[in-house]
Amino acid sequence: MKISQGETKSSSLPLSCFTYAAGHEDEGVCLLMRLGKYRILLDCGLTDLSPLQDQPPADLIFCSHAHEDHCRGLLALHRAFPQIPVYTSEVTAKLLPCNWVGELQGQDFAWCQILPWRSTFKITEQLQIELVPAGHLPGAAAIIITFSTVERSYRVMYSGDFSVSNFQLVEGMSIEHLRGLAPDVLILEGSYGTVRHPHRRLQEKQLMERINRALEVGKDVLLPVPPIGLGQEILKLLRSHHQFTGRDLDIWVDDSVALTCDIYLELLSQFPLSVQNFAKHQALFWDERICPRMRRLNHPSRFAASQNRRVFLVDYRSNLWSYMSDKVADWLILLPEHPLEYIDPSSPQLELLHSLSSVEIETYLLAEHSDGRNTTQLIHNLRPQHVILVHGSLNYLLELASLEELRNRYQIHSPSPGVMLDLPIGDRFMQPQTPQPIYYEGELNETGLEIAIVLPDHISNDSRWKQVADTGIIQARWQGNELVIKGVSQRELLNSNNQG
């Protein structure tokens, strides 16, 4: 492999990491890992490629998975520097074109170099890489990079987006397979910060119950989703969950989501055995014969003629108003809860729909990433020296980076874009300065039978405030000597009412 002699983001240490984009808020992920003379670009989720285009920015590129925040700049980067090899998994290589449907005009991603799972691939005598399944999305991969010198070998692991929970269509990342890896550097996503989630199967159960309740009271259900990943998970649930098996129901899927479904069907051999067995007995997606029927939404007039209850899965970027043209129907719109939300419930896109008495808008949890508990568990099992936290709101990442159980054992970093991290490796423990959490001082007043807590109004500037204040109802509990207060979401309130 020929190594280009770029001057970009150099460091005198064997290992360093430059952050083009750290995945904060709506920005993508793009990191440059330097190991000696080798430069490896980890994902390319940039919208603006100008920082990368003065010279070949890397010796090789790794694409972890096909979500746009990790690959949106990949096609343009390849066109600018076609000589740079791009490594990814087989499923990801097939899914990537979904991000450029109107631009590719029949081209494929044959220029991606496909690597098998858990097999060491030698780039040079000094550098080798290995891909391991990361959960989260079919084809999503973590990469383990080994760089060998005369003195020692260095090991770096980048998780991409990951989940250790088993989804409907992809198995979770195997902690057992990675236990004791002891990388010198672990670059890890921390999307949910320290937040804890209920078990995945409970999340699925609650979503199916909410859809079922809406259908039983005569409502149609609209779920705006990204084209790749979440929509296919929900479709599989609707096809296989006991509350919907055999039900006289029409499920309509728009073109963007349907395209990914078609690619999934071509790659069934890459899916878990449970999915392959399901597909042997009935269609995984398209089915006009077995209820619930699943159909392509080619034209609005087709679904308008249906007299059955309907569930729609549509691209979140589409014109949701066009589905409300049926003046007779009542609607439930379900939006995914996510720290980086696809559609904010208060966004201008939904403003008109909020004004319709026939439309109800709620959120649901079907987590696509590991929560705080599973993230810390993975770190402890891997035993790295350096941990670099990316991907998620900055507040969430700082909370995760501030956990004593992590800071007492590892060197924790949460870099901002444009920052070069030098990563000294050795026995001496050098902890970076602890990020300071933001505290809000208020007042507590006891008024007879009630207690009032007054906080300054600038607390509402935090992006998380809307989640706390969603319903105006809060819960409080003791955690040691501290009182923890959390907001109750509409979804939690509805679930508690139904269970009661």
Match domain 200-364 to its CATH number in 3.40.50.2300, 3.40.50.10890, 2.30.38.10, 3.40.50.300: 3.40.50.10890
In this predicted model, which residue has the larger pLDDT, 359 or 386?
386
pLDDT band, very low/low/confident/very high, at 4 (cuts 50, 70, 90) = very low
The DSSP string of 334-391 is EEE--SS-SS-TTSHHHHHHHT-TTEEEEEE---SS--HHHHHHHHHHH--SEEEEES
Whether the Cβ atoms of residue 63 and residue 43 lie closer than 8 Å to each other: yes
Q: What number of other Cβ atoms are within 10 A of residue 136's Cβ?
A: 30
pLDDT band, very low/low/confident/very high, at 303 (cuts 50, 70, 90) = low
Distance CA 274, CA 111 (A): 32
Q: Of 494, 496, 499, 500, nearest to 214 (Cα)? A: 494
> Which residues have CB under 8 Å from 400's CB, separation 6+?
190, 193, 194, 372, 375, 376, 389, 406, 414
pLDDT value at 12 more than 70: no
The first and second tokens of residue 331, run together, are 């609607």
* pLDDT (tens digit per residue) in 191-239: 999 999 999 999 999 999 999 999 999 999 999 999 999 999 999 999 9
pLDDT band, very low/low/confident/very high, at 493 (cuts 50, 70, 90) = low
Q: What number of other Cβ atoms are within 10 A of residue 243's Cβ?
A: 13
In this predicted model, which residue has the larger pLDDT, 251 or 9?
251
Distance CA 161, CA 67 (A): 9
Average pLDDT over every residue of 469-498: 70
Q: What number of other Cβ atoms are within 10 A of residue 195's Cβ?
A: 16
Alpha helices in 82-128 (DSSP H): 90-95, 101-104
In percent, the amount of the chain with pLDDT more than 90 equals 62
* pLDDT (tens digit per residue) in 376-400: 999 999 999 999 999 998 889 999 9
> Can you name the residues that pair with 286 across neighbouring β-strands?
none
**Which helix (H) or strand (E) element contains residue 491?**
helix 490-499
Parse the chain into domains and list their residue ranges.
15-196+369-422, 200-364, 443-499
* pLDDT (tens digit per residue) in 82-119: 999 999 999 999 999 999 987 765 566 788 999 999 99
CA separation, residue 344 to residues 296, 308, 322, 354, 406 (Å):
26, 30, 19, 12, 32
Which fold would CATH assign to domain 15-196+369-422? Metallo-beta-lactamase; Chain A (3.60.15)
The first and second tokens of residue 228, run together, are 């790749």
* pLDDT (tens digit per residue) in 413-447: 999 999 999 999 985 555 555 555 566 667 677 76
* pLDDT (tens digit per residue) in 135-190: 999 999 999 999 999 999 999 999 999 999 999 999 999 999 999 899 999 999 99
Q: Nearest 5°: CA angle at 74, between 183 and 96?
A: 90
Distance CA 95, CA 67 (A): 9
Distance CA 157, CA 173 (A): 13
84-93, 249-258, 327-336, 452-461: lowest mean pLDDT where?
452-461
3-state DSSP assignment of residue 19: strand
